[in-house]
Structure 1
Amino acid sequence: MKKTIPDSSVVAGHPDHPLLAAIADEITRRAGGHATLAASFPAMLRQCIDDVIMTPKTGRRSYDELEKTEKTYIGTRVEIELRALLSLPKGRLDTRILGHDVDIKNTMGSNWMIPTEAVDHPCILVAADEGRARCYLGLINARPEYLTLGQNKDAKKSVSAQGFANILWLLRDHPYPANFWRTVTPEAVERIFAGTSGNRRMATLFREVQQVAITRDVVEAVARQHDFMRRIRSDNGRGTRDLLAREGILLLSGHFDAPLIRALGLPPCSPSEFVSYRLEHVKEFALARQHGFDLME
């Protein structure tokens, strides 16, 4: 997304304010309130992108590795998932809100392509900035004067530099879950995937990336096996937990080990996430034993 975005001029007195404010209120209401929207929308975007990257099946780990057609499909996926998230009906354009035909436009770049059929209609603008892990959700009434004079071969136009001021933002420069593999150094990624077995790759993952909540999707991508969850269990001394325990590293489940995760001051984990931690102090080893872990000091 653009580094510099002007403040919205869509306030009381702006010709688009009554329409866009009403649609914004309806979107927020359907989402369950602003706080819920601010949590569910970023998670939805992350899932849309990761489901197309398909790391477990393809080995790809970033948006940049996608084919052009796959990048285009992300826009379709976002449209479908956003309608589902907000329980919106299909319309003559992408959806209908408060009786108005509304188009949904998504970009992973710095602008949106507005088709001719959406001109003079309200549009929901969605953007994801993978590099900065920020997302955007806005509304614009796609008047011709807000769009560029030039157009692409499909007669689509972009929002002009001046047109950006006519966007009413619901979420602007808002954090969303980063692509996990962007948070790991290339050297660590190479070490993780150099393992010749699921257990070795998994052990390296949790050895290299500690005190960070790791999702099941990442576990599946690293295991590259059908029963990928088996890789993180104890297994008669051969499982990932066993390998790490011999090094003084705990592998904890957000579902089963939440009390110990809190006691150690580790980041919160959802029930489907995992976190690892190398014990350092006598008190930590004692705390682990109190919760059923008996690691060598």
Structure 2
Amino acid sequence: MTKSPLPAPGDLCQPEPRRAGPRGEHIIDAPADDDELQQVHAWLAAQPIAVLLRTAVDDAVRYVLDGARTWRFDLTSDKVDSDERSSVGTKLQYHVIDHLKLLKEPPLDTTIAGIPVEIKGTIGKTWMIPREGQCEITLMVQIDAGRHQFRTLLMRTHRAWLTGGEGNRDGKRSPRADAVKQYAIEVVPWSDLPPEPLRNLSPAQLLEVFGPYGLRRRLIALFGYLPEKVIPRSSIETVGAGLKDPTRRAREAKPHVMKEHGLVVLVGTWHVELDAAAQLGHDLSNGAWVAVPPAKLESHGFKPDVFIR
């Protein structure tokens, strides 16, 4: 089947009827000539947008995985069903609004610089645009769960640039790939999400870390298998899913990690350990953890025994 030619700037576009009332036929502007699109893009570019959206995406993924109750840490796992994966896009909308300090308000999802903006996330290859979003400005976030990456685009999703046919049962349509390639503005290129160190464990190591042992024993194994890898607090909570205060068990594991693996465990809860880790090149903000060789601490003037308690 031959794909119809892609309408270009200067061509006419007619959106479909929508609840908010009709939007008239209009001429398609090139992105560079679309004043509202450029205003929204300028507002986004003035923020530390890559950092904010990276955190928003990570929070949305972790919210759906709910590792502290389910032991899950990977969206590609067969323990995550398709409906849950799809819900990431819905949750993402709220996390983006929160991290960008916007408001959830009509007529779309939010407003930026006084301009209505739709926010759409996907873990697939395209986005689903509702009728209300046709010919409006859309912030489009794409998550590649397998590669643990995301990207963000900004586009006026003209009806003429959306797929034809009947759409899905809700009347939603997807932007054509050729339209995205030609007319979407890159806000954040493909970028890594915050590391999830549990993804680095081999199947055999996972069996031990999530095995039928006491939590302290499993955490000793975790630190031993991941030397010099920053382990977020959320990963500790995932390993200790359903148990009370797993971080206390992690603190209790510190002398045993030194004894069994020759590693000093540092935690960002304590300023002296946070500072020591920073000098070794590890960011332990938000209560993260890392196990390091004592020789590296000594080379920076620290006494390892101080941190083993």
| 4+ residue segments displaced more than 6 Å | none
Aligned twin of 2:265? 251
Out of 168, 179, 186, the position equivalent to 2:203 is: 186
Corresponding position: 1:168 with 2:185: yes
Matched-pair contact (CA < 8 Å) for 1:45–1:78: yes
Secondary structure of the residue that 1:232 maps to in structure 2? helix
CA displacement at 1:293 relative to structure 2:
4.5
Aligned twin of 2:245? 227
Secondary structure of the residue that 2:303 maps to in structure 1? helix
Under a length normalisation based on structure 2, what TM-score does the superposition of the two structures give? 0.79
Give, in whole Å, the separation in 2 of the partners of 1:114 and 1:13.
20
Corresponding position: 1:111 with 2:111: no
Q: 1:199 to 1:140 in 2, by over 3 A?
A: same
Secondary structure of the residue that 1:157 maps to in structure 2? coil
Q: 1:163 to 1:245 in 2, by over 3 A?
A: same
- The aligned length equals 273
Q: 1:60 to 1:271 in 2, by over 3 A?
A: closer
Give, in whole Å, the separation in 2 of the partners of 1:48 and 1:13.
33
Provide, for residues 141-170 of structure 1, a one-character-per-residue CA deviation record: whole Å limited to 9, x for no partner: 111221122422332211112111211111
CA displacement at 1:279 relative to structure 2:
3.7
Secondary structure of the residue that 1:276 maps to in structure 2? strand
Matched-pair contact (CA < 8 Å) for 2:86–2:122: no
CA displacement at 1:135 relative to structure 2:
1.4
Aligned twin of 1:146? 161
Matched-pair contact (CA < 8 Å) for 2:70–2:238: no
Corresponding position: 1:201 with 2:215: no
Q: 1:114 to 1:243 in 2, by over 3 A?
A: same
CA displacement at 1:107 relative to structure 2:
0.3
Matched-pair contact (CA < 8 Å) for 2:54–2:194: yes
Give, in whole Å, the separation in 2 of the partners of 1:134 and 1:94.
24
CA displacement at 1:37 relative to structure 2:
1.7
Corresponding position: 1:27 with 2:39: no
Give, in whole Å, the separation in 1 of the partners of 2:42 and 2:92.
20
1:268-279 alignment to 2 at 5 Å? 268-279=283-294
Secondary structure of the residue that 1:81 maps to in structure 2? helix
Secondary structure of the residue that 2:189 maps to in structure 1? strand
Aligned twin of 2:69? 57
1:32-43 alignment to 2 at 5 Å? 33=47, 36-43=48-55
Q: 1:143 to 1:16 in 2, by over 3 A?
A: farther
Quick one: which amino acid aligns to residue 44 of structure 2? I
